[in-house]
Amino acid sequence: MSQGQVELSRRRFLQHSATVASGLAIAFYLPAGAAATGPGAPASSAEFEPNAWVRVLPDGTVKLVVHKHDSGTGTHTALAACVAEELDVNPMTVQVISPENPFFETYIHPVWKVFSTGGSTSVSLEYDRLRLAGATARTLLMTAAARQWKVSPDSCSTEEGRVVHAASKRSVGYGELVSVAAHLPAPAGVTLKDPTQFKYIGKLRHKRDAQAKVCGRFTYSIDVVLPQMLVAVIERAPVVGAKVLAVDAAATLQVPGVRQVIAVPGRPDILGGNLEGVAVLADNYWAAHQGREQLKVQWSDSPLAGFDSDELAKAQAAAIDDPHAQRVTAMAAGDVNAQWPHAAKRLEADYRMPYKVQNPLEPICITAQVKDNAITYWGGVQVPSSALEAAQTVCRIARDKVIINELVSGGSFGAREAKYWLFEVAYLAQQARVPVKLMNSREDEMRALFMHPATLHRAKGALDAQGRLTALQLNAVSPASPEQWEPGYFERPDKMDYSTTEAITAWDFAYRPANLDLVWVRHESQVPSGWYRSVSFIPNVFAVESFMDELAHGAGQDPLAFRLANMQERPRHVAVLKSAAERAGWGQPLPDGTALGIATNQGYSSFIAVVARVAKKDGVICVEKLTCVVDCGLAVSPGGVEEQIYGGLMWGLGHALFDRLDIKAGRVVQSNFHDYRVARMSDMPEVDILLVEGEPGKPGGVGELGSPPVAPAIANALFNLTGVRQRSTPLALG
């Protein structure tokens, strides 16, 4: 049975949910593809599809069941606000809990058809449905109070968790109404608030649980402790494809606290599955780590033992002209080849980005227990479908016997979308017969190999005698993303892997020359790749925005004006570009030794423009300031959006100046932050962020929006300062 199929019936799920807590559970529904049609518009009453649950308990507690993972991004804060706004309760008092059955059809991602969080989609996809859930609960509670008072529900209102009847000056708490409200029929229709009445949506400045996190009281995956639990670390294959030939664990088993040594089989048959390894299980992490230091493992040879990342660009360049390479057109118009002979000026350039690793602050950590033919996970499980796949594939455990105790994680950046660690912990928990907490060290994270792939982009453009862009061609060379995320794309007529063509497809590519040819060239290196914050937006935007700058200079035009001249019918995009340029002082006199560079992109139904200011002082170049204007439509939690954008800018600064992971002889060279430089607080320039609402009634995504334009903006600024064009990252400031 595929991941998208559902074994649990709706009736059975309702019965299960009813046993969870006494009180009022509200299922809410929307017709497929429908939503409230405008401010104050009544919701449809026909064929609503369940999406989530609101629970109001007799003590007045309000609980929101959220099926989205929060990796510190504030997702739970924004989703709680959507319900709380319509329910008329303070969102910071709403308890956010994970679903008892994470695999109910309600919780499947409507686009990806798996149970997952990612792609900056959580708030934008859930906004209407969660508001409707809160409004439905509020309507039922008001109806219950009106019956109790024998008045019209229309004469009642709500305020901070209470139903109020102003005429008689009576009020009652929600908790006192649940016994009546729980037996009322679903309302035929509910009215959503007019946005002018919002108290929380668009006004929140702080995240949930911020104080507990700052004070160290918040519980993360690494804090899980269970009776009889063992902590596991794994010595994984140093080269992809290497197998365990022999293990000498004698010295390891002499380390105090070490209890077991277990060989972990690899699952190369599963896309994204784990490599072979040997696990050391102990009473605590330090004992397990010390035991692994004493472990002696003999590994087989591997076909990838000769792989060198420095040589990869040559192979990628060769793939562009290889007639047998898989080429997929992402976007096309006119005939670019017909334009080359007639161009007044032709430009061509290659852009490269190296391998990069996610490095979340909290390394991968997950606890699992296999007992009574069931498996229970504790931790930040961003992709429940992968946990389910691990349980079914490794342990042969049935779908309805998989339990996930979801915790907020200390960052992900794509690391927790990998599945190898879920396969490993499931296997170890089954073999050890006790709860097992699997913990990665920073070195383990660095060498796990499920990182962002290295890429090469070849761009070619034609300008006429007036400096107009007449043709643009781009060959984007990269491996495919894991097929499970784009099911069946090899069989689809377009053979498109949309996770590799972000920013170069019709819905998010900014420019419209008459002749256009944007192509994904698939090239596999056999090095496993993984998810990474902003995914293919990062290299695609770097190439496009760097080349647009080169074309502008080749045409003798201002880079901002050149971009605007090649945008058609994109008012929101034009607005952020103009606003960012104006705020940064574009076109105004600059101090000597100072220069600006600009870049932009659209993604996740949001728009962003970044202007970088660089300066040379005492012979040293630094990034002085990043000016950023974002149009994400409605910012449900403006404080959270600004934090996400700030973090994205910092992430992008890392891409631009530091991030680089090398592979020599099939082995990762870097091991920790001493040789894999990351952006530090001292590296951050002045940052100016402005949020605008180009479409006030609809939120867009922001979690992955901020980083892609930073590297090209800095590269373009460096060219304006030095006259030297840099086409690969990390960029040199010297």
**pLDDT tens, position by position, 271-287:** 788 999 999 999 999 99
Looking at the chain, the whole-number percentage of residues with pLDDT higher than 90 is 70
pLDDT band at 384 (very low <50, low <70, confident <90, very high): confident
Claim to verify: residue 564 and residue 652 sit in the same structural domain: yes
542 pLDDT higher than 70: yes
Q: How many domains does the chain have?
A: 3
User: Left, alpha or beta for 160 (phi > 0: left; psi -120 to 50: alpha)?
Assistant: left
d(C-alpha 516, C-alpha 67), whole Å:
41
User: Which domain-ending residue is among 213, 248, 266?
Assistant: 213
User: Which domain-ending residue is among 181, 213, 245?
Assistant: 213
pLDDT given at position 483:
59
Question: Which CATH number characterizes residue 382's domain?
Answer: 3.30.365.10
Range of the domain at 261: 221-304+364-439
pLDDT given at position 181:
85
Q: Is residue 64 part of a domain?
A: yes
Claim to verify: residue 139 and residue 262 sit in the same structural domain: no
User: Left, alpha or beta for 322 (phi > 0: left; psi -120 to 50: alpha)?
Assistant: beta
d(C-alpha 518, C-alpha 509), whole Å:
10
Claim to verify: residue 313 and residue 300 sit in the same structural domain: no
d(C-alpha 679, C-alpha 682), whole Å:
8
Least confident window among 1-15, 69-83, 85-99, 396-410: 1-15
d(C-alpha 352, C-alpha 729), whole Å:
7
User: Which domain-ending residue is among 439, 463, 480?
Assistant: 439
What average pLDDT does the chain have?
A: 89
pLDDT band at 24 (very low <50, low <70, confident <90, very high): low
Of 560 and 191, the one with more pLDDT? 560
Of 115 and 571, the one with more pLDDT? 571
pLDDT given at position 65:
80
214 pLDDT higher than 90: no
**Which residue spans within 426-532 are E strands per DSSP?**
436-439, 455-463, 469-478, 515-522
d(C-alpha 186, C-alpha 340), whole Å:
65
Contact, 340 vs 346, CB < 8 A? yes
Q: Is residue 37 part of a domain?
A: no
316 pLDDT higher than 70: yes
pTM: 0.91
346 pLDDT higher than 60: yes
Q: Is residue 15 part of a domain?
A: no
Segment 7-19 mean pLDDT: 31
pLDDT band at 724 (very low <50, low <70, confident <90, very high): very high
Claim to verify: residue 515 and residue 399 sit in the same structural domain: no
44 pLDDT higher than 80: no
Least confident window among 20-29, 94-103, 359-368, 432-441: 20-29
486 pLDDT higher than 80: no
pLDDT band at 590 (very low <50, low <70, confident <90, very high): very high
